[in-house]
């Protein structure tokens, strides 16, 4: 008599293989290890590379035969730049148009509405770039506590839908620069960490995204760090920064570094 395998609702199988979101650079992919079907937040001050990571993830998803729904709320995503990176990666315009939907929205309702539509429509990667500006616009018309709770509830619902549909979601949040870190002596590793305060302007956003990648610029060099992660140590356990560059082919890995108020030094693996 054959055995019937009965699974409970919500039961997670340990047999399924884990796959990871790609940013077009194998070393960056390994360092970040963002599981597909999860939500990741990229946060940082202006011009730290948040949109570059989003575009790189979009192009990599197309290469992997996925479909991308990219929501631009700030007018900061250039179609010409996307086409240039796609061409460098040998993606023709027909394939780009077929696999990538770029939508420009003007308010928070449109942003959240399109994100829900994209998840339910079977897109593999949904990007909200960013949630900060439409939230701040809406904040002028609503009570801050009520608005934050409404946004939190909407994001939780989107996250649950994304998990059910195995959709990867990237949320971008712009944060205030606490100090000028162009001079190394001004660098404080705690400046960009959540600690008691999650990324401005939405304090509950950090509790929705189970993966959070912070981006900073120090002495005109770009670095990423893991603030929280489903399976990797965060910067609270390992004060490691990942240096990266922005190129015509997307974001590129440079190396692992330690940053202090006196030096930036590369980590060397001796084994």
Q: Which residue has the higher pLDDT, 209 or 157?
A: 157
Distance, CA of 102 to chain centre: 17
Which residues have CB under 8 Å from 197's CB, separation 6+? 203
Q: Which residue has the tokens 């693996």?
A: 269
* Residue 196 reports pLDDT greater than 50: no
Q: Beta strand pairing status for 221-228 and 211-218?
A: antiparallel
Q: Is 38 exposed, middle or buried (0-12, 13-18, 19+ CB in 10 A)?
A: buried
Q: Which residue has the higher pLDDT, 183 or 66?
A: 66
Q: Which residue has the higher pLDDT, 197 or 223?
A: 223
At residue 187, the pLDDT reads: 62
pTM for the full model? 0.90
Q: Which two tokens stand for residue 222?
A: 């770009």
Q: Which residue has the higher pLDDT, 123 or 183?
A: 123
Sign of the CA dihedral with 99 first, then 76, 45, and 202 last: negative
Q: What number is the average pLDDT over the span 176-186?
A: 59
28 - beta bridge partners? none
Split at pLDDT 50, 70, 90, the class of 177 is: low
Q: Torsions phi, psi of 36, nearest 5?
A: -65, 145
* Residue 195 reports pLDDT greater than 50: no
Q: Which residue has the higher pLDDT, 210 or 193?
A: 210
At residue 201, the pLDDT reads: 66
Average pLDDT, rounded, for the chain:
87
* Residue 192 reports pLDDT greater than 60: no
Q: Which residue has the higher pLDDT, 74 or 190?
A: 74
* Residue 8 reports pLDDT greater than 70: yes
Q: Which residue has the higher pLDDT, 254 or 130?
A: 254
At residue 211, the pLDDT reads: 92
* Residue 146 reports pLDDT greater than 70: yes
Q: Which residue has the higher pLDDT, 88 or 6?
A: 88
Domains plus CATH for the chain? 35-266 (3.40.50.300)
Tens-digit pLDDT profile for residues 86-110: 999 999 999 999 999 999 999 999 9
Cα–Cα distances (Å) from 1 to 4, 5, 70, in that order, read 9, 13, 51
Percent with pLDDT over 70 in the chain: 85
Q: How far apart are CA 40 and CA 172, in angstroms?
A: 9
* Residue 180 reports pLDDT greater than 70: no
């Amino acid at each position: 008599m054959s055995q019937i395998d009965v699974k409970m609702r919500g039961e997670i199988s340990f047999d399924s293989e884990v796959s990871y979101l790609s940013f077009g650079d194998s070393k960056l992919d390994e360092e970040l290890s963002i599981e597909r079907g999860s939500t990741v937040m990229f946060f940082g001050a202006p011009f730290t590379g948040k949109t570059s990571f989003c575009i790189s993830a979009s192009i990599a998803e197309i290469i992997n035969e996925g479909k991308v729904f990219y929501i631009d709320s700030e007018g900061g995503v250039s179609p010409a730049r996307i086409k240039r990176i796609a061409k460098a990666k040998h993606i023709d315009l027909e394939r780009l148009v077929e696999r990538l939907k770029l939508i420009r929205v003007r308010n928070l309702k449109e942003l959240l509405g399109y994100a829900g539509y994209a998840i339910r429509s079977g897109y593999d990667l949904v990007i909200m770039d960013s949630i900060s500006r439409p939230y701040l616009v809406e904040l002028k018309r609503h009570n801050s506590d009520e608005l934050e709770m409404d946004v939190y509830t909407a994001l939780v619902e989107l996250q649950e839908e994304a998990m059910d549909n195995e959709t990867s979601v990237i949320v971008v949040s712009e944060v205030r620069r606490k100090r000028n870190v162009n001079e190394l002596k001004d660098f404080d590793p705690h400046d960009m960490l959540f600690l008691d305060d999650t990324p401005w302007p939405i304090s509950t956003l950090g509790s929705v995204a189970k993966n959070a990648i912070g981006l900073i610029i120090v002495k005109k060099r770009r670095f990423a760090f893991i603030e929280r992660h489903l399976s990797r140590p965060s910067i609270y356990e390992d004060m490691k920064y990942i240096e990266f560059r922005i190129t015509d082919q997307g974001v590129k890995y440079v190396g692992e570094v330690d940053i202090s108020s006196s030096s930036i030094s590369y980590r060397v693996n001796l084994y």
